Chain A
């Protein structure tokens, strides 16, 4: 056991001292043991081959403090910090703690439950017990076990059969100046019953000047019933000296649809895991993402699509734009079980290196055990297309201008897959400003 896991063991003891007995303390204890036993992954671990978490492993992140004074942020501040519509159902967490005064989610259909994890544990412990830690068991996954052991709050969403939630549920995580040296472990549990639909947006942002990094280690578990649909957007714009690890574990029923979009532009080191199991016939997963990094940033994306039932489809498009001395990693895996005949899987990832010092490591994998399948993956790494650059220049655009526009266009192709207008427009504007130093339209 390393010194940091020992320190966490102590912190766990203090945090859970009054834990008592029951399923929750047991779940946490088990997670803590697993976390200690696994330790932080090294680059010898195949899943972490290109990402060193030493800067995370050698620190001991403190438990998030409870706010004592009055809230320093107003609802208007939140609106300014995140992309989205203030009219959406909004749950705001500051440094991992729920802020009721900044949140508003009253207008939901009566049958639909959206609450904090703490609230849900009081109101309907059986429901939480039945689902929490089931999909994200943390087996072999240090960070998931870490979250389960230390998670203090989060969100629980339950959409009963046939309910359609129109406006997105926006879960906002803000780190402010009190976050320095803190470990935040948000948890999200989503259960969507057959034929129901919901859109969830998770935003991670920071407010004000930061002194010293913090760690966000988020875990989401999403169960999607037969014929149900979940659209899930994750917008990660953490402070550039923060660390962000986020794991989403999904299980899909028959005819269901899971659409995920991951945007990552923040954090010194970020790791985004999107894992989905296509467990019922004819289910579909669409996993898209865009990461924009610069300086010494490191962004790692891992996707894992398990085709466990026949006739499912998966579509993946990930793009990265890397500048400065940044380092990108993409590892996409598609697994096709022997029974998953008629699988249709397509995975694409493209990276654009804007600087000579940027680096990308990609590993797209196919593991196929069924014969009647159609699976492809394509990966490219390169710079802007010289032909397109020339074409634009021949139309009178300056070289810099042409370059900027093409870079934006590279990003726009994947941003177009965002189906929530406010989000798409917001991110397009952000990307446009970033590459052209001017405003969109």
Chain B
């Protein structure tokens, strides 16, 4: 039985190839000049450079946080490269000007960027190392007034929106990695959905790290104006390399009154080999601000990265706002994940739901870390948290660190957690009905993750299914 579990969890990483493109890569090291260089490469306005520099100075005064349950070799920030872009990409070019080699790379990842072949119903912004390769379906979206483009493009075409919202949810001073990102971010996606518009298609960004020894620092900003709705998906992959690569992203979501933002992630960065050689160090700050009657929902399937440090959070600022967090985190071999969420209840009658499923295999260590905070004025608020862990094999670990802080007496919080292994009895029961051990395990795992997978849009549910090697049919929907 254990061998069947092993073959299930030890699937080969499919996206480990390297694309051979000529790149404009800057020298390793991080100084004010690096920040200026990145800004000038992007031809940025002065105010943005100033913002970056403030962030950089702040970062220099900060120290890397070590409160998480993660163990890794110290990161030498001066040994990293902070910018790398394929030479063939010129700023603000259109999709039909893209280097065919890059298009092929995306085809190999299962994402077609050519307008004829792309997935119906999904617009894609493709980020390759430090820059955007292009964004599909822009014309279609503009009919609805929806802006969806690379961050760089937004800085040039929608400076007023960027000025207003950049750093409004995650200030550059928020934490060490957010400050670092604010100083050196190179690209990312921007989306604005105007008042009352329900964005008719799914928006997505596909992040690809290709260059060696280069970090990726992208920034995503999504603004849903009053009464608007948007569903956004994010996917990530990287080549197999035997050195660790740094990824420090920031995502800011703004849901104005009565708006809904749904953000889904399938994170499949290279995880390193079975001895922990190589793999992405993934330090991400994701946060949304929910105004009156609005809703922000995070769904994540975290399967990649050597290290994951990530807590998608919601500030429930407005009365009657809703925050959700659905997560499946899988660690195998030497992977470590410290992930969870923060729900900060500020407004009255605010509601949050947290469903976290951790699966640990090999020597993987999986930690759930969550904070539910009910402030004195958040009367009548509710939280429900459920975090379950499943252990496969006896060398892995599961940890839960929930913080529950309640400062008013009309709110309720409920927290449940459990840890278990796939029961021998469950496997035997399935076998008695004619199923093989592999089939039984995939069935049990998919049942375990069901509540989270049913939150994923269909396209992503399929990808998640492939990733986990499980059948979702019967567990989704």
Contact = CB atoms under 8 A, between A and B. Distances in A.
- Asked if A and B touch directly (CB within 8 angstroms), the answer is yes
Interface of A: 46, 50, 338, 341, 351, 353-383
Given A367-B397, A367-B399, A382-B411, A361 B405 contact: yes
Given A368-B391, A381-B413, A359 B407 contact: yes
Nearest to A383: B409
Nearest to A363: B403
Contacts of A351: 406
A284 B270 CA distance: 43
Contacts of A367: 397, 399-400
B419 A368 contact: yes
Interface residues of B, number: 35
Contacts of B402: 363-365, 379
21 contacts: A338-B394, A356-B409, A362-B405, A364-B400, A365-B400, A365-B401, A366-B399, A366-B400, A367-B399, A368-B399, A369-B397, A370-B394, A372-B394, A375-B420, A376-B416, A376-B417, A377-B400, A377-B416, A379-B414, A380-B412, A382-B411
Nearest to A322: B409
A381 B399 contact: no
B409 A354 contact: yes
| 3 A-B pairs with the lowest CB-CB distances in the bound complex, closest first | A353-B409, A382-B412, A371-B391
A361 B404 CA distance: 5
B402 to A, nearest CB: 6
Given A359-B407, A360-B406, A375-B418, 7 more contacts: A338-B395, A365-B402, A366-B399, A366-B417, A368-B397, A373-B419, A379-B404
Contacts of A356: 376, 379, 408-410
Nearest to B386: A378
A366 B406 contact: no
B421 A371 contact: yes
B398 interface: yes
B417 to A, nearest CB: 5
Nearest to B398: A368
Contacts of B72: none
A366 B398 contact: yes
A309 B318 CA distance: 49
Contacts of B194: none
Contact of A375 (B395, B397, B409, B419): B419
Nearest to A378: B416
B457 interface: no
Contacts of A369: 396-397
Contacts of B389: 366, 368
For B401, B406, B421, which residue has the most chain A Cβ atoms within 10 angstroms? B406
Contacts of B404: 360-363, 379, 381
Nearest to A371: B391
Contact of A341 (B67, B392, B394, B408): B394
Contacts of A366: 389, 398-400, 417, 419
Contacts of A364: 400, 402, 415, 417
Interface of B: 67, 376, 379, 389, 391-421
Nearest to B415: A379
A342 to B, nearest CB: 11
B419 A46 contact: no
For A50, A355, A382, which residue has the most chain B Cβ atoms within 10 angstroms? A382
Contacts of A376: 416-419
A341 B400 CA distance: 18
Contacts of A341: 394
Contacts of B391: 368, 370-371, 373
A47 B2 CA distance: 38
B412 A374 contact: no
Nearest to A360: B406
A377 B397 contact: no
A377 B413 CA distance: 14
For A46, A369, A374, which residue has the most chain B Cβ atoms within 10 angstroms? A369
Contacts of B416: 376-378
A383 B421 contact: no
Contacts of B413: 379-382
Contacts of A338: 394-395
B420 A383 contact: no
Contact of A371 (B394, B401, B415): B394
B410 A383 contact: yes
A378 B67 CA distance: 24
A46 B393 CA distance: 30
B421 A378 contact: no
A362 B374 CA distance: 12
A378 B417 CA distance: 6
Nearest to B400: A366
B172 to A, nearest CB: 23
B227 to A, nearest CB: 33
Given A365-B399, A368-B399, A381 B412 contact: yes
B337 to A, nearest CB: 15
For A368, A374, A377, A383, which residue has the most chain B Cβ atoms within 10 angstroms? A368
B268 to A, nearest CB: 25
A370 B379 CA distance: 41
Contacts of A381: 404, 406, 411-413
Nearest to A365: B401
A355 B411 CA distance: 11
A361 B403 contact: yes
Contacts of A382: 411-414
A372 B419 CA distance: 9
A378 B401 CA distance: 13
A361 B411 CA distance: 13
Nearest to A385: B412
A415 to B, nearest CB: 22
A75 to B, nearest CB: 43
Contacts of B417: 364, 366, 375-378
